[in-house]
Structures are given as C-alpha cells and as structure tokens.
Amino acid sequence: MILDSKIPAGPLEEKWTKHKFNSKLVNPANKRKYDVIVVGTGLAGASAAASLAELGYNVKAFCFQDSPRRAHSIAAQGGINAAKNYQNDGDSIFRLFYDTIKGGDYRSREANVYRLAQVSVNIIDQCVAQGVPFAREYGGLLANRSFGGAQVSRTFYARGQTGQQLLLGAYSALSRQVANGKVKLFPRTEMMDLVMVDGHARGIVTRNLITGAVETHAAHAVLLCTGGYGNVFFLSTNAMGSNVTAAWRAHKKGALFANPCFTQIHPTCIPVSGDHQSKLTLMSESLRNDGRVWVPKTVETAEKLRKKQIKPADIKEDDRDYFLERKYPSFGNLVPRDVASRNAKYVCDEGRGVNETGEAVFLDFRDAIARDSEDTIRARYGNLFDMYQQITGENPYKTPMMIYPAVHYTMGGLWVDYNLMTNIPGLYALGEANFSDHGANRLGASALMQGLADGYFVVPYTIGDYLAQTPPKKVDESHPAFAEAVDKVKGGINQLLNIKGSKTVDHFHKRLGKIMWNECGMARTAEGLKEAKKAIKALKKEFWSDVKVLGENEELNQSLEKANRVADFIELGELMIDDALNRNESCGGHFREEYQTPEGEALRDDENYAYVAAWKFMGEDQEEELVKEPLEFENVKLTQRSYK
Amino acid sequence: MKLTLKIWRQKNASDKGGFATYPVDGISTDMSFLEMLDVLNEELTEKGEDPVHFDHDCREGICGMCSLYINGNPHGPLQTTTCQLHMRSFSDGETITIEPWRAKAFPVVKDLVVNRSAFDRIIQAGGYVSVNTGGVPDANEIPIPKTIADEAFDAATCIGCGACVAACKNASAMLFTSAKISQLALLPQGKVERKTRAEKMIAQMDSEGFGACTNTGACAAECPKGISLTNIARMNREYFSAVVSSDNM
C-alpha cells in the first residue's frame, strides 16, 4: 500500500494558493444537494459545521454531550498562536512554521505546517468578528503574550479561558446555522460505526444515549472531529467522556492510524492524591516562569517529607536539588514540556518524590515572592493559585506547590492527506483527531490554532474538490451496508450487556491506564513495551469475559457508554505499544531509553525514522500492518534540540 | 469520612421518582464531590444495583455539564461547580441530599440528569454575530476599549450550567440570557443586530417556560462564574430600547 499525501508541487509559500485554485468547486446551486456529517462539536467540528452550512451544504452535527458547547476544547487555557506580528518583534509566517516543525522534533509535514501558519492570521480576524473577547491593550488593540518554544509574542488569549471563548464563538456560528435550518443538531448521540458504500464513506451508525436507539445517517462525506485519545491512560487532563471510539471504528473500517505513540505529557499538573482520582487538572505552564522546581537531595529527607515528619520549609538550601536548573543551566525551569516531564519522573523514580504517593515534585514560589512581593505574584497567577488551593486545600503562597506530569494531548491520530481526507475517500479527520501538524511534540497554544484552521479555512475548500467529483444523488440508506453496520453495532452492545461478569468497566480502564502510563508513558523501553503488549492482550481477554455492565440498551446507560469506549481504548493501547516498539529512536514526546544522547536527551534517527508510521487494521486480533509515509524536508535543516 | 446520601432516583422522564438513601464509607476529604459519587457507583455496580446517573465531563469547572442540587444549593455550599467541590467542605457523619435541577424547562432525563437544550435554543434565537467565515476585516481594525472588552469578557464567561435557573424561585433564565445579550451589546461587532437579538432571545426564553425575574439575585449569588446582575439590567435596557424605538434607530 502506498500513501499519497497529495502535497502540491511548487514552492512552499505558493502550495496552498495554487492548490485552492486547482481544486474543483461545487457551484452554489448544487451545494444544497450535498449532505455532510460532522461528528464532534469542538473547535474543529463546530467551525467546520458552521462554515460548510454557510456555504450551502446540508450538515448534520453530532456530539455525545448534552450541548455542542461542552466539547473539551472549552477547557484550553493558555491561548492561540497566530503569525500576525502585531508586536513588531520579528514574527512571520515562516517563523511560526519553523518553530512548529522544530518543536515537533521534525516529525511533521512541511506543507501542512506552512499552511497552518498561513491561515493562522485569518483565524484571529474571524474570531474577533464573531465577538470573541480577546485580551486588549489600553489603546484598544489586541494583546499578545509569549509562550514556550517561541522567542516572539504571538499568542492571543482571553485570560486563562481562551479555549472557552473560541469554542463559544464557533458554537455561536453553529447555532446561527441551526436557526437557519442548514445544520441539524444531534446532542447526546454517539457515533458507533462508519458506513462505507463502494469504498467511500457514506454515513454513520449512531446510538441515541437517552433512548438507546441505534440509527443510521447517510451523507456524501463524513468529517470526524472527535478529539484525542489521552483517556487511554485513564488519568489525563481530558474530559471524562473524551474517547477514541469514532476514530477507532473508522480505523477498523480501513482508515489508517498514524503515529499513535506520540502523546504529550504536560509537566505542571496537580499530582494524583489517591486511587479514587478520576481526572487530572492542568495548571498553565506559565507558572514555570517564576516557580523553581526541586526535590530533596537525598532519599532519606524525601521519606521524612512523605511521612510528614518534616515540612518543606525545614529543608535547608544545601539539601535541595533544583534539578532542572542544575542540568539545564541556560534554560533552567523553562525547558520544553517533554524535558521537564521526563526529569520529574527520574527524580521520583529515584525515591525523591515529595508527596504521600512519591509522585510529585515541588514548584516553589518562595524566592519569587521574596523578590517581587506576594501581591505581584498574586497579580500574575492569582487564579491558578486559587484553583490549586481549591483542589488540594493547601496555600501555595505559604508552602510550595506540588506538581507532577500528566497526559494532556495526543499528536497521533487518523492519517490524512493534504486535503485532510483519510485514505477512505469521503472520510475526513480534523483537529486533534488527525495526526496532523504537531509531529512528535506540540507547542503550547497550537492546538486551538489547528482545530480552527482545519474547520474554518481548510476543509471548506478541500471538501469541494471531492464533492464536485461525487454525484449529488441522495445516498440510499436502504443499501445493505447500512443494515450490516447496524447489526454489527447492536451485536457489540448485546455482547457487552450479556457478559454479566464480576468487574466494573472502571476497574478495567484503570488497569489499562496503569499499563500504558508505566510502559508507554514518559519513558519507554523495548523490554517494558513487550511486557505491556502481553498484559494488554490478557486484559482484553479478561474484559470480554468478565466485565459487568448493568441495565439495558434502551435507556440512558452510562456504564454501557463507558464499556463501549473502554473496549476501543484497550485495542488502541495495543497499537500504541506496537508503534512505540517500532520507532527505534527518541523524538519529542516519544522517549525510548535505549536511544538517548550521552547527556540523556532524546536521540533521533533521521536516517531510518523520518517517516509517518501509519497502521492498517488487518482483522480482529491480527497484527496491524505498518505503512510508511516518508517525510521530506526541503526548507528546514534537521538539528538536534539542545537546552543545556 | 462516613456519610449518608439521600439521592433522587428517577428511572426516566415519565417515572415519578423519589429519594433513596445510601451509606458511603471511606471517603477521603481530598475527593471531589463527583469522585465521591464514583465511589458509590462502583459499590452499587458491584452489588448489581443500577448506578446513579449524573452529568459531568471536564471535571475542571469549565464545560458546564455537571449540575446537582446539594443540600438545597445548586452546585453545593461553595460558589463553584460541583466538580470543583471537594469533600473537605462536608463533615464526617453528615447526611447529604442530592437532587437534579428543578425547573419546568429542564425536564429530568434520568436520576440527576436533566435536559438543558432550552439554553441552546435561546442562543440559536440570536446569540451570535451574523458573519460568515472569511471576508472579515483585520482583527485590529476594530479597536475596543480595554474596559469594554473586559466587561464583555466577564459576561462571556457563562458556562451554561443552569445553576441560575435552579437557584431561582421562578426558574428564570434571565441571568443566562442576559449574559450573552450583554456580551454582544457591549462589543461593536454585536451592536448592528442588538435590537433584534434582544427581542428574539427574550421571546425564545419566555416560550421555553422559564419564569420571570424575582429581583432577589439568587441567580448571581449561586453562579459558579460570578456572572453579575448588571447583565440583567443591561438586557432590560436593550429590550426596552428595542421595543420603543423604530427599526432604523
């Protein structure tokens, strides 16, 4: 199988413009003859659904939440990048492109990333026109701030709630099209399978989460905007409902899954406090601008801390190890996310963790408060300190914060070409659901940018090229492919309900999470991954023979919803492990301990692994087949990242 | 901690529903309120009893999906969302009463889950600026005074959870509706449609069966995001100026 990325020829700067001109158009009168399904209503889904409806297509939009406004894009805090150069500090489209390629450790496509940087400027215009209340300067113009991995200030923000404001903007555009009758909304409806007719995506099977009704929906194209799969780790900063089911079931219908092992672990999260924990909370990494990360120098002192025999303040300066400042004198506490996370893990593995579970390091503001005053620190981080205190019950002005890394974002996803179409004609993947533009590591404030770029400015152009070549005849829902898919979905549901085993769905999900976190998390080894693969295979078998799902299909049944999702997470987990085992190098968020520089940094192997690893489903319990898409770099020079 | 939970159980929309009492033990003060319910649900499932259904998603106080009337207060004793409420706010041995939002416009779906689609329909009636994707001016061509932008932002932080409705004796949706009207009336982008927006959104709000304002301010007192009553005053002004002026003013 050969993957055609459909990257247009010509100079980087002209590719997108030329491609738009060369794409076929659907004339305005014909657009109303085409139906498009959009699954997911986060930034990518809501913006795509609204934009396509504005163009005249008939859109059906689906989300599992009770309202499209609740999609997890809403929780993004920091901001959105755009190469506006409003600050006159040397930003440009090329610089945003370069920073993103480098930040991704050279594992993304030049052409896609360049286009992302190009349309980033349009996104800000669009959002402002919708009434998104971005932060402003006293002169009335937009404010910017700087963010990790960049030397310019290009991040637009709305206090610590940028994702919320952008999503509500896209939701308002979507709502307007619902009122216009161009979008039909299906809340509390979950996609259960993809329907293919003659090799093309032509519809989906859904489950109504209130009534349990399994239904079909036909269309000329299907867009999956279903987010990432961080919940495979059970504990993550994702919402409880975030899941991989739509993408995974499309994968099992033939869509390739690319770079599944590329996950981002965020260094500044509130540590796990016990087994009851259901979710992890992120705190903006801006805290590392003033906080100093440390643990005690010795295991003995750490043990006393854990037993609460001493307090952090009792530990003398000489007995503290500011390990990031020690190892990376020039970047100090501001090293990139992957480096900061990994080093926190190392010191905790050594037994120097500082909370009861042994998995936490200090983020200390003592020196910043002494230097700048408590009021200054409060003005900078007040809302984050309050949030920390609300969750932990501790006052971070008086005692150091405790932090630990947590799963935050998944760079991998469904493989797409330059048009954002998967290898299944008519099936598109947008936003975090595709493998896209972030390579092996995503820069801060780039997820919002990508979701909106895909939905507002890329897919409205590229879908026309496909639909113009598709006859506008209504898709026939009486085609046997629909009935077959429905039978399969119903069969799967019945199977789950009839196991009547002894262990809850969460029990399995937690065990899966532990395997993934320990062996396929911040640091990975071939040996550990092989063990994990065995463990997951066994877990899958046990799940399908001993899971306990109460109730019936024909009602609101949250256990059944979870069971469907966890079943898919287990299978995805195994593929992530295959991918991590295959990639015999370290890059970005993927750190294989066997492949590191003498200083302990990620060691890439550009000669053998400068490719996208796309995986093809070969049948239940079969090994998946690896299909490689080579990455070619014509405009940037590949270098070793160093933060010493 | 040991607690007694009195929880509203209702099989579906047509079921009458009633309270059931459950003891829970071994609850840590570090747990969030929803994690405490997770513990109960694991126990119920193991015993073969139907777990208590409740809405939740982000569990970081921003998606607006969680609800719950706890001891008579929407989102419990603190001015926060239920997912950000921790068990240290309760004491050992306490009895906690948990109910769904009570409002005609928010019918119960099951147990503690209600249908809040009425809020979506209010936004669909006019909670937007009518611009299509593309063809908009450069973002900095619309200067907006910082104070105005900040005030619009404060109104825009509404998470649509419905606590305002649940807190109100009349189950009024004035605070929710006014937050959106206010945000867009303050900003130059939204001024073009301000009259029709106020009229349409308020008409939709009324048709959904939400009650009239009590003027007691319970909504703002319980709002987890601190949406201010000023927004209701601004909405009223928008509405009156819309109905008494001509279309060209």
Place of tokens 């900078």: A380
- Do both B133 and B208 map to the same domain? yes
- Do both B157 and B70 map to the same domain? no
Q: In the structure, what pLDDT confidence band is assigned to residue A440 with cuts at 50, 70 and 90?
A: very high
Task: Single out the residue in B61, B80, B110 at which a domain terminates.
Answer: B110
- Do both B8 and B44 map to the same domain? yes
- Do both B120 and B239 map to the same domain? yes
- Do both B123 and B70 map to the same domain? no
Task: Single out the residue in B110, B129, B164 at which a domain terminates.
Answer: B110
B249 domain residue, yes or no: no
Say whether B57 and A239 touch across the interface (CB within 8 A).
Answer: yes
Tell me the CA distances in angstroms from A503 to A298, A512, A544, A566, one per residue in order.
41, 14, 11, 13
What confidence tens digit (pLDDT) does each residue in A566-618 have? 999 999 999 999 999 999 999 999 999 999 998 888 999 999 999 999 999 99
Q: Roughly how many angstroms between the first and final C-alpha of chain B, as a whole number?
A: 62
Is the pLDDT at A21 greater than 70, yes or no? yes
- Do both A400 and A279 map to the same domain? yes
- The answer to whether the beta carbons of residues A613 and A582 sit under 8 Å apart is yes
- The rounded percent of chain A whose pLDDT value lies above 70 is 100
Q: Detail the DSSP E strand segments found in A24-108.
A: 35-39, 58-62, 80-81
Q: For residue A238, what is the nearest residue in chain B, using CA coordinates?
A: B58
- Do both B62 and B136 map to the same domain? no
The predicted structure's pLDDT at residue A331: 83
- Do both B157 and B104 map to the same domain? no
B19 domain residue, yes or no: yes
Q: Would you tell me which residues 121-180 of chain B have a C-beta closer than 8 angstroms to some C-beta of chain A?
A: 123-125, 127-134, 136-140, 142-146, 149-150, 152-153, 156-157, 159-160
Q: Cβ of B12 under 8 Å from any chain A Cβ?
A: yes
What confidence tens digit (pLDDT) does each residue in A261-312 have? 999 999 999 999 888 999 999 988 778 888 999 999 999 999 999 999 999 9
Query: Residue A544: which CATH number?
Result: 1.20.58.100
Is the pLDDT at A222 greater than 80, yes or no? yes
Q: For residue B138, what is the nearest residue in chain A, using CA coordinates?
A: A125
- Do both B207 and B157 map to the same domain? yes
Q: Which domain holds residue A349?
A: 265-408
- Do both B102 and B202 map to the same domain? no
Task: Single out the residue in B75, B110, B145 at which a domain terminates.
Answer: B110
A41 domain residue, yes or no: no
Q: Which domain holds residue B32?
A: 3-110
- Do both A275 and A400 map to the same domain? yes
Q: What is the ipTM of this complex?
A: 0.98
- The answer to whether the beta carbons of residues A456 and A51 sit under 8 Å apart is yes
A389 domain residue, yes or no: yes
Distance CA A198, CA B52 (A): 44
Query: Residue B79: which CATH number?
Result: 3.10.20.30
Q: In the structure, what pLDDT confidence band is assigned to residue A149 with cuts at 50, 70 and 90?
A: low
Question: HSE on the CB side for A521, CA within 13 Å?
Answer: 27
Say whether B56 and A240 touch across the interface (CB within 8 A).
Answer: yes
What confidence tens digit (pLDDT) does each residue in B154-190 have? 999 999 999 999 999 999 999 999 999 999 999 999 9
- The answer to whether the beta carbons of residues B227 and B174 sit under 8 Å apart is no
Q: Detail the DSSP E strand segments found in B35-162.
A: 69-70, 73-74, 95-99, 108-110, 113-114
- Do both B155 and B175 map to the same domain? yes
Query: Residue B222: which CATH number?
Result: 1.10.1060.10
Q: In the structure, what pLDDT confidence band is assigned to residue A234 with cuts at 50, 70 and 90?
A: very high
- Do both B234 and B126 map to the same domain? yes
Number of domains, chain A: 2
- Do both B77 and B121 map to the same domain? no
B102 domain residue, yes or no: yes
Number of domains, chain B: 2
Distance CA A591, CA A596 (A): 8
B46 domain residue, yes or no: yes
Q: Would you tell me which residues 485-544 of chain A have a C-beta closer than 8 angstroms to some C-beta of chain B?
A: 504, 506-507
- Do both A392 and A302 map to the same domain? yes
A597 domain residue, yes or no: yes
Distance CA A601, CA A335 (A): 12
A110 domain residue, yes or no: no
Q: What does A467-524 look like in DSSP terms, one character per residue?
A: HTTS--SPP-TTSHHHHHHHHHHHHHHHHHHHH--SB-HHHHHHHHHHHHHHHSSSSB
Q: In the structure, what pLDDT confidence band is assigned to residue B247 with cuts at 50, 70 and 90?
A: low
- Do both A492 and A598 map to the same domain? yes
Query: Residue A271: which CATH number?
Result: 3.90.700.10
